[in-house]
Amino acid sequence: MILLLLQLQFCLSIAAAACIQKEREALLQFKNSFYKDPSHRLASWNNGTDCCNWKGVGCNQITGHVTIIDLRLDIDQVGFRIAPLYSNNSIHSSFLELKYLNYLDLSGNDFNYTQIPNFLGSMVELTYLNLSRTFFSNKISPHLGNLTKLETLDISFNLLETNGDVEWIPHLSSLKFLSLRGMDFSNTSSLMQVLNYLPLLVSLRLNYCNLQNIHFSSSSWLNYSSFLSRIQLLDLSSNKLNGQIPKAFQNMTSLKYLDLSNNQFNSIFEGGISTFIKNNFGLKVLDLSFNINLGGDVFGSRYGNQSTGCNLQVLNLGYTSFKTKIPDWLGKFKNMKSLDLEDSQIYGPIPASLGNLSSLEYLDLSRNALTGTIPTAFGRLLNLRKLYLQENGLMEVGHECFAQLEKLEELDISRNLLKGILTEFHFANLYQLHILSIGYNELLQLDMKSNWNPPFQLQVFDASSCIGCVRSEFPQWLQTQKRLVELWLSNTSLSISCIPTWFQPQNLTDLDLSHNKMAGPFFTTIVNQMPNLRRLFLNDNLINDSLLSPLCQLKNLDTLDLSNNWLSGIVQGCLLTSNLFALDLSSNNFSGTFPYSHGNDLSRIEVLYLRNNNFEGSMPIILKKSKFLETLDLKGNKFSGNIPTWIGDKLERLKILILRSNLFNGTIPSSICNLTDLQILDLAHNQFDGIVPSKLSNFNVMTRKDTDGFPAICRNGNLDHGVVCIDGGKYMVQSIKSSYFNYSMIRLTLMVSIDLSNNSLVGFIPSEITKLKRLIGLNLSHNNIIGIVPAEIGEMESLESLDLSFNQLSGPIPLSLSKLNSLGTLKLSHNNFSGNIPREGHLSTFNEASSFDNNSYLCGDPLPIKCVIENSSELPFNKIDNQDQDEDKWEKWLLYISIIVGFIVGFWGAVGSLILKKSWRYAYFKYGEEAYFKVHATIWRSIEMLKGMCISKRIW
């Protein structure tokens, strides 16, 4: 009987497992609401009638009702290999038929900024709801408060508005896990009070919520004792919290995960993290990183004698301002798996006690001021997978510090002061190693036998500027590395004439052989042996090839730097594809016109350097569609013609525009002022005429104090290898402060300058130029500009170099220049300035006469011409140099001749009339005697006045 009943139940369960017809139809309606499914994630929904077998659908095995819909797109795991679902509408109302649904995850899909539907509040069986990153917008539906069985709610990173309404949250009485990341709670003062009413809440994520100290005041924390005692995970990262970290965190006895990173905290509670860890014994993760001003006794000094049984597994203190040494007691955390102290201003030696962290998998001590030796004790970190020690002052590698780390995958010891020899022994057991970076250690050497067969297969090898690591030949052991993706051998004294035929890394995407002594036809070999290259750096070599066409076969090429070689000939249009991100052909001997590509364009290019070649013709029209272009440098060529208006209309992201030393002519188009992000404008040494554009204040970047963080010349490399820059560390000559300086490409992007010198510009200096408060250098010299210097020029507070020499400017030197405390170079010579040279404020530091000479009417220090102080009753400018005296003589003679001619004409006009007309004679003698004496006196008074005025050239 029992066996029969069990068999009957099994048969019934199988029969009931097929999904309900109404629910299947509801799912199909939901599927049809998506207009785009690029990854065919819902393809299985077209197969069969049993929806319980569809991908992302789960049913109750007994009743057949749909209980689970899981269509999440996990961006963190799959990247962009799987595309989201796209809908123009909100969640379809057919969901109302799914009355037994308890698990709904639609995260990562696109609902096109529609609103979360109210009917979700009626799906009361839901225990799990995840709508994060779904592009929902508008106000949150308060009907969600009806989901009293809900245990997990995630509506993060949408465009949802709270408007201060969070009263629906306390109704979620079963809630355990709540994530509201990316929502703005700046106007919601009662948030913590509301969360305190959730009796089962153990996990809370509120990062990127614009939270401020008012949400976590000391008095309010006292009222949330129950919340503090039960919470296990608290993420408040990326908010606006500042000052001291609240002491209340020390009383969170259940806390296992605390993330306060990327805030503005500047001090920690008394006792530092040592006391905090002691009071929160169950803590596993503590992240205080990216509080850049967090300093003081962060580690604390009282933990050294405490128990070693702490459960802490992750400690992230990177990008802070500790300015202290690493304490020995960190070595007591036996459960520590990840320790990150990157860029935290720690100094001194690395304590050997870190070798006791037997569970450690991740260690990052990079970008600090650590000195001494890489401890041999690191050899005991047998679980270590990633070790980053780059950019310190480390000098020696301890014996056997890496040899036994069989699980090590990534090792970066670059940019230190390491010396000594690394042999095969150091890498003998590194079977898992796939990233090795030892570059920029000039005294370090690799001593490997030519037949060495490493135990690892590298994906990234960087030995740049490590001359002893490579010497003049390609390392023989590289022929064993079949998985290489990135190879960086810049500045290693390579003097090869060809790439070895045995080196054929088919997967290589990044190759940097720049700053070497290579001379030979490399392009064909590179294409044949490395067909999948994306980034190629051969700059600063002795390559003298004249045929670039083989490079056209590199279909994936997006970054190419061939600058500073002996290349010649013309550039083939096939090289200019829509894949190109950065192209540098500068300082070669290329000639001809810059080509228009064959059926392609440079629509994605961001960086183009063509300086110091022999290109000719007009502005390359191929750039007309380059809407992402940020840097354009054509200096030192023979380009000619006008600047086309599309430069300002189409290239809206342009930050650096350098057309210096060409043959461009015509006027500077006003459309160039549409480039609001422009920070370097160099049009010097051309043939431009017309006026200086008046709308210079449109250059927004030049008017504000903040700067964009990352330069356009860099982009992320593969395999988390960091930043790849087209410059490869090279320098560019830039005219600033009336001289030529070598600026690194990184520093050049921090410059803000305008150079229009050595043209034929006329007109006045536009007053709008004084609004460019971030401008560092301004050069308008060697033009024909007239008028006065705007009095508001002293408002350009960042100005370090001002050159207005060799123009026809007049009037006094503005006194406001004295306010420019950053001004280091001032050139006002060869103009028509007049009056005293101001010596107030910062102007008193300019003691070279060359800054002011050849201004005929200028006087005072530092010029040898002294200003004469005259009596108030006398006219000024009585002392005039010889040149002025000669000019005044001619002017006086002209005046005298004019007076005489005027007298003759007036006299004989009157006397002649009297002689010819008898009636006029009678009237004159009757009435004119008195008038005669009055007119006579007036004429001579006028003559005397004019003679006095002639003394002053300014009045004349």
Of 844, 859, 874, the domain-final residue: 859
Does residue 70 sit within a domain? no
The CATH number linked to 565 is: 3.80.10.10
The answer to whether residues 516 and 605 belong to one domain is no
CA distance 494 to 518: 6
Domain count, the chain: 3
Q: Does residue 565 form part of some domain?
A: yes
Q: Are residues 852 and 889 in the same domain?
A: no
629 and 715 inside one domain = yes
Q: Which residues contact 728 (CB under 8 A, 6 or more apart)?
A: 490, 512, 514, 515, 537, 539, 540, 561
Q: Is residue 11 part of a domain?
A: no
Q: What burial letters (b/e) apply to 529-559, b meaning 16+ CB within 10 Å?
A: bbeebbbbbbbbbebebeebebbbebeebbb
For the CA atoms of 642, 648, 652, 657, what is the dihedral angle to 10 degrees?
50
Are 523 and 660 in a shared domain? no
Residue where a domain stops, chosen among 536, 571, 605: 536
Quick one: 676 and 817 in the same domain? yes
The reply to whether 614 falls in a domain is yes
Residue ranges of the chain with per-residue pLDDT less than 70: 1-17, 75-81, 217-223, 301-309, 597-599, 704-750, 869-956
Q: Is residue 850 included in any domain, yes or no? A: yes
CA 808, chain centre distance (Å)? 40
Within-domain flag for 812: yes
Domain that holds residue 584: 558-859
Q: What is the pTM of this model?
A: 0.80
Q: Are 863 and 837 in contact (CB under 8 A)?
A: yes
C-alpha span between 283 and 254 (Å, rounded)? 8
Q: Does 907 lie in the same domain as 763?
A: no
Q: Are residues 724 and 791 in the same domain?
A: yes
Q: Mark whether 734 and 689 lie in a shared domain.
A: yes
User: Are residues 571 and 519 part of one domain?
Assistant: no
Asked whether residue 758 is assigned to any structural domain, the reply reads yes
| Residue 665 to residue 689: CA distance in whole angstroms | 7
Question: Given this model, what pLDDT does residue 488 score?
Answer: 96
Which of 497, 490, 535 shows the shortest CA–CA distance to 513? 490
Domain boundary among 822, 843, 859: 859
> Quick check: is 123 in a domain?
no
- Say if residue 711 is in the same domain as residue 591: yes
At residue 736, the pLDDT reads 43
Q: What is the pLDDT of residue 872?
A: 37
What is the Cα 888 distance to its own chain's centre? 60
Q: Give yes or no: residues 721 and 827 share one domain.
A: yes
422: amino acid identity, one letter: L
Check whether residue 530 and residue 577 sit in a common domain: no
